[in-house]
Amino acid sequence: MSSPQEDADREAIAALTLRLRSGGIRDNRVLSAIERVPRRLFLSAALQKHAHTDTALPIECGQTISQPTVVAWMTAALEIAPEHKVLEVGTGSGYQAAVLGHLSREVHSIERYRTLADLARERLSTLKISSVTVHHGDGLEGLPEKAPFDRIIVTAAGPEIPPALLAQLADGGKLIMPVGPKGGVQVLTLAEKKGATIVTRALQEVRFVPLVEGVASRL
Ligand code: SAH
């Protein structure tokens, strides 16, 4: 038996997924991963009524949960297979990590705010998503002990792709990140490692909170 809240969530997510599909997201694996994650559970009580609208929303520690359309674009661009080892930099609420967790058997997500990392861990455990491990640390350094990664997704913006992340990308691997100056135009950039070369492609303009060096000293 499902509760009236669960039924309402399911209906709202189905409507959101339809919207993503008509907005041009055609990857069924990505759409069904999104369909399996109740975004409401990743938001504070006051914002839950907006959970299934297609907008970015504020979360704890002054950060934001990405717009579902952007989550879908970024996830689809990575073409994740179940056997790919995935790294996310910028766990935030844990929503994107949950979507990734339905596509890959091994996902690592790093967050510089301990509060956010703890909350995300709790939410993922409530949803029984055991493929995701949340780490508290500085994502600019990547996660050398788990490298190389087949796919890397950075959900905060920086002026360039951090060199440590490129170093931890497997040969043939793909990385996606919003690249641009603080406060300026950021371009979603897809990088692919082919032997010693990195081929990059600019996708579309986006707006993300900045990547910040080091773990947060408070919160
Ligand atoms: N993917 C998130 C949204 C992320 S917002 C979601 O689905 O909700 C960007 C996040 O990146 C913020 O939580 C911010 O604290 C984090 N961040 C910024 N710089 C970081 C760094 N150097 N290492 C790890 N996390 C970082």
Q: How many domains does the chain have?
A: 1
Instruction: Report the predicted TM-score, pTM, of the whole model to 2 decimal places.
Output: 0.97
Among the listed residues 2, 22, 66, 93, the single catalytic one is 66
pLDDT one-digit tens code per residue, 143-184 = 999 999 999 999 999 999 999 999 999 999 999 999 998 778
* Band (51; pLDDT cuts 50, 70, 90): very high
Question: How high is the pLDDT of residue 197?
Answer: 96
Average pLDDT, the chain: 96
> Residue 3's pLDDT band (boundaries 50, 70, 90)?
confident
Provide the pLDDT for residue 57: 97
Task: Domain of residue 115: give its range.
Answer: 55-206
The pLDDT confidence band at residue 112, using thresholds 50, 70 and 90, is: very high
pLDDT at 73: 96
The yes-or-no verdict on residue 1 having pLDDT over 80 is no
Considering the domain boundaries, does residue 130 fall inside one? Answer: yes
Atom of ligand 1 nearest to the CA of 213: 22
Q: What percent of the chain has pLDDT over 90?
A: 92
Q: What is the pLDDT of residue 185?
A: 92
Whether 3 is catalytic is no
| Contacts (Cβ under 8 Å, ≥6 apart) of 178 | 154, 156, 157, 158, 186, 187, 188, 189, 206, 207, 208
**Quick one: which of 140, 144, 124 has its CA closest to 132?**
124
Average pLDDT over residues 20-46: 96
Question: Is 1 inside a domain boundary?
Answer: no
Give the number of residues written for the chain. Answer: 219
Output the CA 213–ligand 1 centroid distance in Å.
Answer: 11
What per-residue confidence (pLDDT) applies to 139? 98
- 181: domain CATH number is 3.40.50.150
- Domain assignment of residue 62, yes or no: yes
Q: Is the CB of 168 under 6 A from ligand 1?
A: no
Residue 89 Cβ inside 6 Å of ligand 1? The answer reads: yes
Question: Among positive and negative, which fits the CA dihedral 3, 42, 105, 17?
Answer: positive
H-helix segments, 66-212: 68-78, 95-101, 114-126, 163-167
* pLDDT value of position 9: 87
pLDDT tens-digit map of 74-90: 999 999 999 999 999 99
**Residue 214, domain member (yes or no):** no
138 lines ligand 1 (CB under 6 A): yes
19 lies in a domain?
no
What is the per-residue pLDDT for 218?
Answer: 83
Asked whether residue 195 is domain-assigned, the answer is: yes
